[in-house]
Amino acid sequence: MKLSPEKSVSLFFCIAAGVVLACAFDKTGAGFAAWFAPGLLLVGICRVSGRTAFLFGLLAGFVHYLLLLYWLVPTMHRYGPMSVWLSFFALLLLAFYLALYTGVFAWAVTLVPVRPVFLVVWVPVCWVALEYAKTFLFTGFPWGLAGYSQYRYPVLIQSADLFGVYGVSFFVCAVSAGLFLFFMHLFHGRWQNRLVGQGAAVAGLLITAGLFFANGGYGMFRLSEQDAAGKPSSQLRVSVIQANIEQSLKWDDAYVEAILDKYIRLSLSAAEKQPDLVVWPETAVPFYFFNDAKRTRRVLDMAERMKKPLLAGAPAYERREDSGGLDLFNSAYLIDHRGRVKGRYDKVHLVPFGEYVPLKKWLPFVGKIVPETGDFSSGRPGRLLSAGNADMGVQICYEIIFPHLSAAMVRAGADILVNITNDAWFGNTSAPFQHFSMAVFRAVENRRPVVRAANTGISGFIDPAGRIRASSAVFQTTSLTRDVAPAEGKVGFYTRYPHLLPGFCSAAALVFLLAGLRKGLRTRRAS
C-alpha cells in the first residue's frame, strides 16, 4: 500500500516519538527527552481518524518498547531455554502488548473533540489512566512509566509525595502538550481540523511555564525543608554487600562454598565500620535456608561473629500440613547478632513466567523462562522486619516497581524501605539503571530512605528526597556503608491515598470517552 506524503510524515513523527521516549530511559540520563515524545506523537496523529491514530500510536509504542526492553533478548537467551529467535519473538509479543496502551492513548485523544488548548489536560489524563491500567492488568508491568525518566532531576520529582510517579507523568505529558500547541501554531498546524491559534499557543506556553514554576517551586521548597531539618535524632548505619556473583555460577553447587566465602569476607570487612545492619542481595544464599544445615550454620555463625544483624536473601520452603507438599518462597531472612533468625519476609508479587507460571492449571505446556529459580508461592503482604530502631519494609526485586506495594508497607509502619535484588540477569544493559530509577521514586513518594542491595549492581542509598547519596557501579565487587535516618512515623499524602490521581484520571478518561463514543454514534446515525 502506497502512503500519501502527508501520512508518511505522520509515520515519521510517530516513530520519532517512540525513539525519543526510549532515549529518556537510556543510561545516558537524557530524561528531558520525555518532555517532547508525547508531543511528537500528537504531531503524528493530529490530522488522522481515530482508527488510524490507534495504528500510528501502536507503531510508536512498539518502537518505544522494542528499544526500552531490548535487554530481554540476551536475558532470555542466556539464562532461559530459548533460542535467540524465540527470545526475540517473545520481546516482539511483549512490545506489541504494551504498545496497545499507546495505541489506545492515541485513539482516545483523537476521539474526544476537545479544543486544542484543552489538550494540556486531556493528554496527561489519558496517559496517566493507561499507565495505571498497565500497573494492574494481567498481573501488571509498570516498567518505564513516563515519570521515571525524571529520576535524575530531584527538583522536578518532589511532587511525587503528593501524587506518586503518576503525578510526574502527568507533568511530563502536560508540558509536552503545551510545547506541541506552541510549535503547531508556529507552523500553522491544525488539531483535528481546528487551527491551533495564537490564544491556544500562548495558553499552552503559560500553562507549561506555570507547571514548571509550580512543580519546581514545590520541589525546591521540599528539598530546602529537608536540608533545614538538620541531623535526625536517630540513625541506622547500614552496610550493603555487592558480591558480584555471575548468574551462571549462582546455582551451581560446585560454587556455593566460594560464593559464601565471598559474602562472608566482604561482610566481615564491612563490619569494621560498625554498621547496625548488614544487607545481602536477593537469593545471596544460593540454597534453601535450613535445608542444608551445614551451610546454613555458616551464615548464622557469620552474623554471630560480626556481632551485627544480617538481612539475607535466600529461598525458603514450608511443608503443607494437609498434603505434605512444599510451598517455596523467595525470601529475606533477618538474623540477629547472636545468629538467631528473628523474622522472614516472603516476596508477595512474583515475576510471571520467571518465578511462577500464571494459569498453570490451564496452561500446562507453558514453562518458566528461567527454570532454575523454582516455582514460588506468594507471601503474606505487609510483613515488616525490625532491626535496631527501625521497622523495615522489604521489597524483593520486581516488587519495587509497584508504587502501591511500598505505600502499603509504609502505612503498615515501615521506617525504611529495603530493596534487595539480583539484576545479574540483565548484563551490562540499560535495565539495571531503569530498575534503580524506580527505587528513587519509592523514596520520594513515601518520604522514606531506600537501601538497595543488588548482586551485580546497582546498590546504593537514596534519601527521602530521592537524592542518590551513594551508589555502586554495575558488575563491581564492593560494599557500601552509610547512615540512614528512619522516618519518625509520619505518613504523607501519597502514601495514604496512592490511587487518588490515577483513579481520578481513569474515571475522567472513561466518562469523556463514553461521551465521545456517544457523540460519534449520533453523528453516524444522523449522516
With a cut of 70, which residues of the chain have pLDDT below it?
1-3, 80-81, 230, 323-324, 353-374, 520-527
List the Cα angle 433/172/11 in 5-degree steps. Answer: 90
DSSP β-ladder status, 390-396 and 385-387:
antiparallel
How many whole angstroms separate alpha carbon 19 and alpha carbon 7? Answer: 18
Q: Look up cell 507523568; give the residue.
A: 169
Q: Is the Cβ–Cβ distance between 194 and 115 less than 8 Å?
A: yes
> Which backbone phi and psi does 408 adopt, to 5 degrees?
-65, -40
pLDDT of residue 358: 57
Dihedral of CA atoms 9, 14, 19, 25 in degrees, nearest 10, equals: 150
Q: Find the DSSP H helices in 229-309.
A: 247-250, 256-271, 293-306
Q: Look up cell 519546581; give the residue.
A: 216
* Size of the chain in residues: 527
Q: Which of 55, 65, 215, 73 is nearest to 142 (CA)?
A: 65
Q: Is the Cβ–Cβ distance between 206 and 194 less than 8 Å?
A: no
Element (H, E) at 390: strand 390-396
Residue 49 makes CB contacts below 8 A (sequence gap 6+) with 110
How many whole angstroms separate alpha carbon 362 and alpha carbon 371? Answer: 19
CATH of segment(s) 236-485: 3.60.110.10
Q: Is the Cβ–Cβ distance between 421 and 474 less than 8 Å?
A: no
Q: pLDDT of 173-225, one tens digit each?
A: 999 999 999 998 888 788 887 888 888 889 888 988 999 899 999 999 999 99
Q: Is the Cβ–Cβ distance between 277 and 420 less than 8 Å?
A: no
Q: Which of 297, 314, 307, 228 is nearest to 270 (CA)?
A: 307
pLDDT of residue 356: 55
pLDDT of residue 526: 67
pLDDT of residue 527: 62
Every domain of the chain and the residues it spans: 5-228+501-516, 236-485
Q: Which residues are catalytic?
A: 282, 347, 397
pLDDT of residue 230: 67
DSSP string, 209-242: HHHHHHHHHHHHHHHHHHHHT-S-S--EEEEEEE
How many whole angstroms separate alpha carbon 77 and alpha carbon 177? Answer: 40
DSSP string, 298-320: HHHHHHHHHTS-EEEEEEEEEE-
Element (H, E) at 37: helix 37-45
What does the buried/exposed string (b/e) look like for 65-78 if buried means 16 or more CB atoms within 10 Å of the residue's CB? bbbbbbbbbbbbbe
pTM of the model: 0.92
Q: Is the Cβ–Cβ distance between 332 and 420 less than 8 Å?
A: yes
Residue 478 makes CB contacts below 8 A (sequence gap 6+) with 242, 244, 266, 459, 472
> Which backbone phi and psi does 31 adopt, to 5 degrees?
-65, -25
How many whole angstroms separate alpha carbon 87 and alpha carbon 307? Answer: 46
Q: Which of 449, 320, 443 is nearest to 390 (CA)?
A: 449
Q: Is the Cβ–Cβ distance between 419 and 450 less than 8 Å?
A: yes
How many whole angstroms separate alpha carbon 491 and alpha carbon 410? Answer: 7
